[in-house]
Structure 1
Amino acid sequence: AAVRDALGSLDGLVLEPVGQRILKNIEAPIEVLRIRLGEPGREDFLEQRRLGVAVLPFTDPSGEVAGYLADGLADDLIAGLARFRTLAVMGRGATFHYRGAAVDPRRVAADLGVGFVVRGTCVAEGAALRIGIELVAAGTGPVLWAERFEGTASDLLATQDTIVERVVAALAGRIAAAGQADSIRRRPASPEAFDLVLQGIFHAHQTEPAATATALRLFDEALALEPDYPLALAWQALMQLRRWGWAPTGGGDLQPVLERARRAAALDPGDGWCQLVLGQVAMYAGDLDLAAVHHKRATALNPFDAHILALRSPLAVYLGKPEEGVLLIERALRLDPFPPPWYASNHGLALYAARRYAEAAAAYAAAAMPQTGVLAGLAASLARLGDAAGARQAAARLMAREPHFRVDVFMTMRPFREAADRRHLREGLRLAGLPG
């Protein structure tokens, strides 16, 4: 603040925030400012657009490569590129919308508002695996950089590191190349553990109980091979948190899950996903202040990760800041215009807490997979709007899905700090006719 005050008074100087950094021996992230001459204008906006990157799903013309390997390669590129704060990298949901489609990169760039598109192929020939990757400029569609990588599937670990490094090097004129080796997510020593985690993440994205059970088994197997693999620990903790949320009687003790998430974040403090998961578990364990610290660290590490922003939204609501929650989820939706189904629940919760009931009902109604939280929120929103028939219908759908649903149990898993905010949701659910 003292530096800002001293420099901010000088004519012609503008201090621009460029994100936060985590420094050794300092717990809270430190805000970093950039000095520039003159006011930012249209050229700054255009430069941000030019620095947007979309990574398309890799295609498999041979039909022989396992889907999770191709998906994992694209995911890893997204994660690696997102760590560079000068790049606005589109989220997984935005680009995986194009899976299996033969699309012109210029169309993708126009749809998503980015300046660069990364696309690639994975082709299996017997035991060999051949990967081709291109970096395409949005304006006229020229290929700025292309490379081929060959090896066996067991070489995937080293191959993915090389690909991420070379894509980053291809953008060296537009990003700071210094420290790029540190930008790549920490790898396990065991290629088998890496393969199991890729498979687990593939199932974790599907959200159903059976898929969650499969994901947990795969993460357990990975950790049996490499007990200190941070990403496996973080995903295991997240799946255990998801299963806790499904428990009909209130979930139980989250302390073991919290300790697992702490361990993941301690093993790799520079991984935004590990920080996010620790924040999520801390939030539902009732430690909202700890959750806020790690959510902010996650954003400082990966400021363009839509999932991080979307998952921060409920914490803002539980802290009594619903409008901030709305801003976070809506920013996530701008970064990821084709989001996974759970975004709708977080969007609806923030809008309901902000007393924007019509918008909340619309957000809940748009959910592709209406699960318990979505149907409960829809019922409460319609009840607040005075639509008794609609509220009863949503409540009936919920009870058909969850015959043992009770409002009091549901509320134990909603860690509102303020009693008035908790009461606002509870009364809406009961107004809709839900039991308990």
Structure 2
Amino acid sequence: MQDEITQKIAVTLTGWQGQVTEAERALMRRKNSADLDAYDYWLLGIEAKHRMTPEGVIEARVLFEKGLKLAPDFMPLVRDMAVTYAVETDLGSAIDYPAAVDAQWKYAKRALALDPNDATANNMMAVAYANQGDGEQAERFRKLALQFGPNNTDIMMQLAWAYGGWETERAMELIERTLKLNPRYPPWWNFPITQTYFAARLFEKAYAAAKQIGESPNQAAYLAMSAAQIGKKQEAAEAAAKVLRVNPDWTAESMFPYQNFRDETRLPESAAKAGLRSA
């Protein structure tokens, strides 16, 4: 019980959206734009990134770049620049995927060199290796991320995101643990929650979580597919139309992390049911 209380205090106070960071962000907003330093740009960028929209990711990157001009070796800026490229591939926008993967690798590697013990930097290296198809190295860095951030619920949820499609039970355990520690969680958690519930065929729960994600093609696709699976045909059609408005070339086959779903029929069959192209 004492350990659980300690964990909950740590979760409440720390992290990307902990009370300490939010208090600092509130102070930063009172500053004149000319007085912003690298840390301020980092706080603003995190806020933009966590909207989980294509526009939010681009805005975050611009803010991080401004901060890096002031402090090129400020590790959180370098690390979270890697996060923006990892997130961008998840959103389903029309992007240069190889270029995004290369940029994610570059910033993740640099962040780890600046702080080898940072949990998120290690997880970003896991993402980088996963993008290269090196599952063994990816898993090694995931374990290091959890080792360096045992009470970091953001890390736990990022790992659930990584495992959601292909080690669904493991992802469910991480989600249950994080929700217990932080039931008032930040909105971006809904993306890995949606993916995991969808992979587990818990379509009602996937539908509820998908409604809380930021606006992006993959968010709308999950909403369309989970709605179709539970018989909400009109909502499925509306969400499917939104997918194609934002990215006319969207297909289930191109949906990240399509290649990591253990059941390779889940996405294409659900997409077809929602009126979306499977390939």
Report the TM range for the smaller structure's normalisation.
0.7 to 0.9
CA RMSD of aligned residues (A): 3.5
Structure with larger Rg: 1
Report if aligned partners of 2:50, 2:187 keep a CA contact under 8 Å in 1.
no
The alpha carbon displacement at 1:304 in A equals 1.5
Pair 1:248 & 2:94 matched: yes
Q: Distance in 1 between matches of 2:4 and 2:235?
A: 42
For 1:386 and 1:321, the matched residues in 2 are separated by 27
The amino acid across from 2:269 in the alignment is E
| 1:232 and 2:232 aligned | no
1:222 and 2:147 matched: no
Q: CA deviation at 1:368?
A: 5.4
Alignment check: 8 A CA contact 2:11 2:151 kept: no
Q: CA deviation at 1:349?
A: 1.0
Tell whether 2:257 aligns with 1:410: no
The within-5 A match list for 1:136-215 is: 192-215=37-60
CA contact (8 A) 1:248 1:409 kept: no
Q: Does 1:331 align with 2:177?
A: yes
Q: How many residues align?
A: 269
CA deviation vs aligned residue, 1:286-334 (integer Å, no higher than 9, x gap)? 433333222221111111111111111122134x211211221232222
TM-score, length-scaled by structure 2: 0.79
Equivalent in the alignment of 2:244: 399
Instruction: Give the residue type in structure 2 aligned to 1:53.
Output: I
Instruction: Pick from 205, 220, 234 the counterpart of residue 359 of structure 1.
Output: 205
Q: Percent identity?
A: 25
* Cα deviation code 1:218-246 (max 9, x no counterpart): 32233334433322211111123334445
Alignment of 1:24-423 (within 5 A): 45=1, 47-51=2-6, 52-53=8-9, 78-79=14-15, 92=17, 95=19, 192-245=37-90, 246-248=92-94, 251-253=97-99, 254-318=101-165, 320-365=166-211, 367=212, 369-400=214-245, 402-408=246-252, 410-411=254-255, 413-414=256-257, 416-417=259-260, 421-423=263-265
What amino acid is the match of 2:76?
Answer: L
- Give the Cα separation in 1 of the matches to 2:27 and 2:242: 43
| Counterpart secondary structure, 1:265 | helix
Determine the C-alpha separation between the residues in 1 that align with 2:209 and 2:272: 20
Q: Confirm or deny: 8 A CA contact 1:407 1:430 kept in the other structure.
A: no
Higher mean C-alpha displacement, 351-360 vs 387-396:
387-396
CA 1:242–1:359 in 2, change beyond 3 Å: closer, same or farther? closer
What's the CA shift for 1:350? 0.6
Quote the offset at 1:54 in angstroms. 5.8
Q: Which has the higher contact order (CA 8 A, sep 6+)?
A: 2
CA distance 1:299–1:391, shift in 2 (3 Å): same
Contact 2:11 2:152 in 1 (8 A): no
Helix, strand or coil at the partner of 1:269: coil
Q: 2 CA distance for matches of 1:302 and 1:350?
A: 22
Amino acid at match of 2:14: I
Preserved CA contact (<8 Å) 2:119 2:149: yes
**Secondary structure, counterpart of 2:9 in structure 1:** strand
**Deviation (angstroms), 1:369:** 3.3
Cα distance in 1 for partners of 2:118, 2:89 equals 24
1:428 deviation in Å?
1.0
Distance 1:332 1:280, change over 3 A: farther
Q: Contact 2:223 / 2:236 at 8 angstroms: preserved in 1? A: yes
Distance 2:27 2:252 in 1: 50
| Contact 1:244–1:252 (Cα < 8 Å) also in 2 | no
- The gaps in structure 2 that reach 5 residues or longer are 29-34
Deviation, structure 1 residue 358: 2.5
- Greater fraction helix: 2
Partner residue in 2 for 1:433: 275
Query: Is contact 1:345-1:373 (8 Å) kept?
Result: no
